Chains A and B, each alone.
Chain A
Amino acid sequence: MKHTINFLKIKLAVLFFAFLFFQSCPNGKAVKTISSIDQKYLYTMDGKKIKLPAEKDTTTTTFILVRHAEKGVNGKDPDLTPDGLQRADDLAEILKQIEVSHVFSTDYIRTKDTARPTAVDKGLPLDIYNPSNQNSLLGHMVMDPDYKNVLLVGHSNSIPAALNHLLATSVYENIDHEEYDNIYFVRTSDGEKTKLISLKY
């Protein structure tokens, strides 16, 4: 097993705060430290109150993009290794405090198994998407207010392609074959610059 529970908890907290931080600074102003949060606001140590995207905020979508976890070597549609299964559980754990509205996976065992623990945990269906046509889906989710925080599990080539599309760039290259620990938060909001934080989990 790769992660101890404590280590995971620390990571989890870091990620969650990173996520909130990211959600809460639409103008890109740096928020130093978070003192507390409630449903609507995030309070900083220096006494500032920052509005979190409201329930009915119709224009903001946050994409949580990950490549599938460690895969085996069996055939064309391999499943996850024990490390991979653990990472899939870790992902669900990390996303525990984030309200995920949709979970999307490509139609492969390794991606579905990566997404499943989160979907189960959130009580959401596992939505299948076609990575070749993902720009159409991404465009739809950016426009449709129902999509708030979307987990999208894809592949070493399709995840960078999604980043390039959402951020209107071409700088993201295929993820290294041995790299499974990247997690990208991309926040799109009408009339604002799309933001990215990339972290490891």
Chain B
Amino acid sequence: MQIENQMYKLTGGVDPLALCEKYACPLYVYDSAIMKRQYERMVNAFKVKNLKINYACKALSNINVIQYFNSLGAGLDTVSIQEVETGIKAGFEPQEIIYTPNCVSFAEIAEAVEAGVKINIDNISILEQFGQTYPNVPVCVRINPHIMAGGSSKISVGHIDSKFGISFHQVPHVKRIVEATGLKVEGLHMHTGSDILDSGVFLQGAEILFNIAREFKDLDYIDFGSGFKVPYKEGGVCTDIEDLGEKISTRFNNFCQEYGKDLTLMFEPGKFLVSEAGYFFVKVNVIKQTTANVFAGIDSGLNHLIRPMFYDSYHHIVNVSKPMGKTRIYTVVGYICETDTFGVNRKIAEIHEGDILGMHNAGAYCQTMSSNYNSRYRPAEVLVHEGKDYLIRKRETLNDLWRNQVETQLFSKVAAE
């Protein structure tokens, strides 16, 4: 959002207040121009013969967003059979979808094979079963490179104690399974965590994967996962994707020469592609002055956006209704029956009850992690595309909350005779 004529505007001059008026708060709004900008940054940064950016749709799984990335030429990274089905419904060719589950049942993996998508296997036991059941279906193997990286322990997933991937020390075991079953290993994969700033982590991981790649002769692709950091604070740092692109591309191209084949370089970013494209607009219900704080209580809570509470994430908050007011200090809190603080001691243009606040970076892991806690409806979602707004998810209703509940009629309050 930019300030134009003293008011916030989305790309194409779209007025966020008009959207809040039209669709009501709380409201998720996604700006497609920012998704495109981020996608193109990645494509431009990695200079290789074959590049595939698989959008990790766990970050934001609305089918329109998935279709948008399909139209841009991305592939799709999925973690569940439901995401696979959504990707296919969105129009992806099955082979453009990679399925990277962990700790799922073999039955679910079988469904993904049935659907024809690329399969990424992250443990020895499943690999064994897979090789015995589907010796002719090529697989990708998720390697745990034992690198500690990422913004917090919850999102650091490539270290030695993590549940993800097959330890690179177990590669001989993988090879034995491959030889015994005749499996074709078509890809190698790693993902070390989210919010990684240091390009050294990727380069280190790359070397580990290249070493392993030398042992597998039928590779088509190497997938370096994701974890690119985006700025959350104003002026905040992000992964220097252009610098990383130069370094990885050079190294990757050299490796392809050595390997004797133009492999495809893959990544599977979620946050990098959609985080900055999303805004969450909420209305201020009350201003509450205590002896210690001024609270702005909003019509939302951890049920809609849990990242500040779950990961201690910072989401920049602005007063969209009155951006030019004198700044004051506020603690922005939700309406849930437990502490759900969005921001402590934030400098925000003076807030009045009824004002609309905008939370930034609400594209990734916000709506997809929302719930009905406290029996609240999940918000509507709107896509802003080429100057127009499109409703892409309706706000829930009471019927949505009740829809799958089965009333047994076992208990009724019978009036005493």
Interface of A with B (CB < 8 Å)? 129-133, 135-137, 139-140, 142-144, 165
B284 at the interface (CB under 8 A from A): no
Contacts A/B (CB < 8 Å), 30 sampled:
A129-B49, A131-B73, A132-B43, A132-B72, A132-B73, A132-B74, A133-B43, A133-B53, A133-B73, A135-B43, A135-B44, A136-B43, A136-B44, A136-B46, A137-B47, A137-B48, A137-B49, A139-B44, A139-B46, A139-B249, A140-B48, A140-B249, A140-B253, A142-B47, A143-B47, A143-B249, A143-B250, A143-B253, A144-B253, A165-B44
Q: Is B52 an interface residue (CB 8 A)?
A: yes
Q: Tell me the complex Cα distance, A95–B249, Å.
A: 31
Does B24 touch A at the CB level, under 8 Å? no
Say how far B242's CB is from chain A's closest CB, in angstroms. Answer: 11
| B243: interface (CB < 8 Å) | no
Q: How far is the CA of A102 from the CA of B249 in the complex (A)?
A: 20
A115 to B4, CA, bound (A): 48
B-side residues, CB < 8 A to A, are: 40, 43-44, 46-53, 72-74, 249-250, 253
- Could you list 15 further interchain pairs (A-B, Cβ under 8 angstroms) beyond the known A132-B73, A139-B47, A140-B49? A130-B50, A130-B73, A132-B43, A132-B72, A132-B74, A133-B43, A133-B51, A135-B40, A136-B51, A137-B47, A137-B49, A137-B50, A137-B51, A139-B44, A140-B249
Contact of B47 among A130, A131, A140 (CB under 8 A): A140
Query: Chain A's nearest CB lies how many Å from the CB of B332?
Result: 40
- Complex CA gap A139/B48 in Å reads 7
Which one of B48, B74, B250 lies within 8 Å of A136 (CB-CB)? B48
Q: Which of A129, A131, A133, A140 has the most CB of B within 10 A?
A: A133
A10 vs chain B, min Cβ distance (A): 37
- In the complex, the 9 A-B pairs of residues with the closest C-beta atoms, listed nearest first: A132-B73, A139-B47, A136-B51, A140-B47, A135-B44, A135-B43, A133-B51, A136-B43, A140-B48
Contacts of A132 in B (CB 8 A): 43, 72-74
Contacts of B250 in A (CB 8 A): 143
Interface SS of B by simple majority: mixed
- Measured between beta carbons, the chain B residues less than 8 angstroms from A140 are 47-49, 249, 253
In whole angstroms, how far apart are the Cα atoms of A135 and B49 in the complex? 10
**C-alpha spacing A2/B43, complex, angstroms:** 39
Smallest Cβ distance from B87 to chain A, in angstroms? 16
Contacts of A136 in B (CB 8 A): 43-44, 46-48, 51
In the complex, the chain A residue whose C-beta lies closest to that of B44 is A135
User: Distance in Å from the Cβ of B354 to the closest Cβ of chain A?
Assistant: 42
CB nearest neighbor in B for A138: B47
- Residue of A at shortest CB range from B262? A127
* Complex: chain B residue closest to A128, CB-CB: B50
In the complex, what residue of chain A is closest to B70 when comparing beta carbons? A132
Alpha-carbon gap, A143 to B51, bound state (A): 16
CB neighbours of B74 from chain A (8 A): 132
Q: Shortest CB–CB separation between residue A149 and chain B, in angstroms?
A: 17
State the Cβ distance, A102 to closest chain B Cβ, in Å. 10
Contact A133 B52, CB 8 Å, known A139-B44, A140-B249, A144-B253: yes
How long is the Cα–Cα vector from A129 to B72 in the complex, in angstroms? 15
Nearest opposing residue in chain A for B42, CB measure: A136
List the B side residues contacting A139 at CB < 8 Å: 44, 46-47, 249
By beta carbon, the residue of chain B nearest A102 is B49
Alpha-carbon gap, A142 to B47, bound state (A): 9
Q: CA of A136 to CA of B72 in the docked complex: distance in angstroms?
A: 14
Residues of A within 8 A of B44 (CB): 135-136, 139, 165
B12 to chain A, nearest CB (A): 17
Chain A residues within 8 Å of B51, by CB = 133, 136-137
A106 → chain B, closest Cβ, in Å? 11
Tell me the bound Cα distance from A159 to B47 in angstroms.
18
Compute how far the CA of A143 lies from the CA of B245 in the bound complex, rounded to whole angstroms: 13
How far is the CB of B135 from the nearest CB of chain A, in Å?
28
Chain B contacts for A135, CB-based, 8 A: 40, 43-44
A157 to B62, CA, bound (A): 27
Least CB distance from A172 to B in Å reads 16
**List of A residues within 8 angstroms of B47 by Cβ:** 136-137, 139-140, 142-143
The residues of A that contact B73 with a CB separation of less than 8 Å are: 130-133
Write the nearest CB–CB distance from B82 to chain A, whole angstroms.
26
CB distance from B90 to the nearest CB of A (A): 16
- Chain A residue numbers with a CB within 8 Å of B46 are 136, 139
Using CB atoms, name the residue of chain B closest to A137.
B49
Complex CA–CA separation, A165 to B44 (angstroms): 9
Residues from chain A with Cβ under 8 Å of B72 in the complex: 132
CB distance from B152 to the nearest CB of A (A): 31
Closest B residue, CB atoms, query A134: B43
C-alpha spacing A72/B346, complex, angstroms: 61
- When chains A and B are docked, how far (Å) is the Cα of A137 from the Cα of B51? 8
Closest to B41 in A: A135
B238 CB to nearest chain A CB (Å):
20
Q: How far is the CA of A70 from the CA of B171 in the complex (A)?
A: 52
- Shortest Cβ gap from A186 to chain B (Å): 16
Give the CA-CA distance A143 to B46 in the complex, in Å. Answer: 12
Report the bound CA distance from A142 to B72 in whole Å. 23
CB distance from A79 to the nearest CB of B (A): 21
Bound Cα distance A135, B52 (Å): 12
Which chain A residues lie closer than 8 Å to B48 at the CB level? 136-137, 140
- Within 8 Å CB of B49, what residues of A? 129, 137, 140
Q: How far is the CA of A112 from the CA of B152 in the complex (A)?
A: 48
Q: Roughly how many angstroms separate A110 CA and B231 CA in the complex, as a whole number? A: 43
Inter-chain contacts of B40 with A (CB < 8 A) = 135
User: Given the complex of chains A and B, what is the CA–CA distance between A129 and B264 in angstroms?
Assistant: 11
